Structure 1
Amino acid sequence: MELVVRARRAVTGAGEGSVAVGVDGGRIVAVEPYEADLPGRREVALGDDTVLMPGLVDTHVHVNDPGRTEWEGFETATAAAAAGGVTTIVDMPLNSLPPTVDVASLGVKRKTAEGRVHVDVGFWGGAVPGNAGELAALHEAGVFGFKCFLLHSGVDEFPPLDPAGFRESMGVLSDLGALMIVHAEDSDTIDGAPHAHGAAYRDFLDSRPRAAENTAIAQVIAVARETGARAHILHLSSSDAIELVADAKRDGLPLSAETCPHYLSFTAEEIGDGATQFKCCPPIREAANRERLWRALGAGTIDCVVSDHSPCTPELKRFDTGDFGVAWGGIASLQLGLPAVWTQARQRGYALTDVVRWMAEAPADQVGLRHKGRIEVGRDADFCVFAPDEAFVVDKAKLRHRNPVSAYHGRPLAGVVRQTWLRGKEIDGEPAGTLLTRG
């Protein structure tokens, strides 16, 4: 074997234990007890203060490349991913220019990313008005599914689907066996809410009420029930919608849901006026809401935790005015998701096996990455070496994504990523990732 990694603590499909992992050709070929006699040309013994985990899979990342590379870019986004123990990302179809809504735009994005990625990268397609005829070709070209909005996306070149358009696209995806991932907020509800303006976070929160999520999620469930199409609720923020999701799952609908580290970490009560680094849509809600999200995650109603990494330049956050109404909505957290979630999870009695299930296994399963997300024979040798008891304070200037903007700046977190390995090789600063296609 090319490599044998011995770890006193490791999270595998069998739970947490001491293992020796054999690697050959970039794949895991053996998972044995720690002292097993495994011959390898190279052997690595991890420190007792670290845990060997599968590389994380983040299926909700806005790379914004090409077209808005001043916001991010493939090199910086994937470097940040690697620094955070993430070995696979799936890039959103917006806010790049052009958006990924046909095969030609997918080709542009793949060409832009080629040779520039530090981790493996797949791509979502977009479902927008007028492109229902493009979905089958995009599916055939290897996108992992399709994203749509049910209200304005924030960028004019990626418009939302109206109810008829959503139903049409879901019908097409049902025939293809493809997945629709949905930004589920209802535009009519938000149009009827107070307009977002000024520096008061409470006013911004009132402009994106829970009812907007609840109504939209009910619509998604109804159309999934009608068409039989697979649907996934993105960045669930409203705990009021948890029972809707749970009931749909009990009925056997092919529905899943995610939430994000910021909804599990922050609370509305702690966000000061003008602190637009915390603006995201749907918004960070109250402490009681956060605890209900945690309980739903623990119960399996919420399937996974992914970043919704949505960075921008500092100017777009409008720190000069602190106006939540005009600041860009998005939180850059690709590098920090693991320690952010672990910090909160361990306080609530969860284990690293839970975190691995939420942030590696479930996202890989959701998009059909059968060679990712687990330390088991046949999988890619993608590893995160994590020191769970080491603490640090976030310094936005030291993060690897392009712009020094972070809602986590100054926040103490538990857990440090010591190393990240991709297909049996430690990521060392040279782009070595590949571009993935579905299946």
Structure 2
Amino acid sequence: MKKAIVFAGGGAKGAYEAGFIKAIHEAQMDYQIVTGTSIGALNACLLAQKDIDVLLHLWENIEEKDVFEGGLPDLSFDFDHMLDQSHLVISFFKNYMKEKGADITPLKHLIRRLLNEDKLLQSSIDFGLCTVQFPSLKPLYITKEEMPRQHIYDYLLASASCFPLFPIHRFQDQAYIDGGYYDNVPIDLALAMGADEVLVIDMSYPVKHSHYLHRPHIHYTYPTVELSGFMDFSKESIQRSLRLGYQQGQKAMNKYVGHKYTFLPFQTVLFEKTYQNILLIERYIRQYTKSSSQDHLYQQFLEAHFQEPLQKEDYLYILLDWICEILGRDESYVYQFDIFVHDLLQDFQEYLQKDFSVLLNGDLHILKHMNNKGIVGIILHFLLYPEHDKIGNERLMTLFDKQYVIAQLIKMIYIEEKQGSL
């Protein structure tokens, strides 16, 4: 059985892959094939060379100056902002016209320094990449055995030639551009190289190859939060991507749990109780609205899970995601469930008190203009003290279904915590 890892292209997002690789390495995952496109090809090459420490050091220390000569202006095309950095913009476009693309001399030096042809060719791990011939736009899948030794560097640079930002790369009377123009996630190449099992590290959603989702021999992973831009090499963004990639890798290795937000593994009665409670609420809503169609609440859970099939535990994880979003929690942090519960109850402490003042008097207009935390807090208070509810459970459930199930979960957490049975 041959296992393959497939790396997507994505510029600075390659830091996410580096974090994922760290998790794979810690889990001592065995693999025989690596493929990649663009920056994914460079990461795959370093993995094939078994230079994992080199790869991690690269991404923990990379800066924009390691890729572009003279820096890269913010090309967001906000005119006032461009005027503020006019010296950098003018310098960039002078070089751009001269080089027919950005001056990527530092990137060329970086690839030359990181590539070790002897290590790569002698490695037991097979390696392949994707690039595209220009101007025919004919794709080229090529493995290390098919590359002339003296041109391995050229193929790596060709795969990462993100035209028109980067110059077209030419060698052996042929021009090449970024492999992402044809296949940014070369799963097909891994299969053609003999892979029986494939771990895919996509860096975008919607994913590039949805036809490979839910296949028994393909573990298709992708970020559950938005990554920074593909040219954002700021220290903060790179470190965030490293953390997010590591977390997703740990989830793939069954070391961490959660969906958008990440938790250390935990056991709780809430997995079963949350699922049963949501089924009950969905049934009540159908009765109240006299509708037999698939309900709005279920669709929100599916959307939060990227239309992937829902398992029982996913309902709790998604509700925890929604709570974290409401409270503005950091999505790149790893949470411990018992500490999370303690902080959560502190955040909603005022709504848990019986003497909390609710001045709604059945006025839904006031409730609708509150922020999500306020709506959840008011519903939570009504669930704990129904005698204070001047609106009605049915109306709350149907008009604020998402906030209602969040409040129900917080109520369950509060009660289970008081009883010591969480």
Largest Rg, 1 or 2: 2
Q: Which one scores higher on RCO, CA 8 angstroms, separation ≥ 6?
A: 1
TM-score normalised by length of structure 2:
0.25
Structure (1/2) with the larger strand percentage = 1
Structure (1/2) with the larger helix percentage = 2
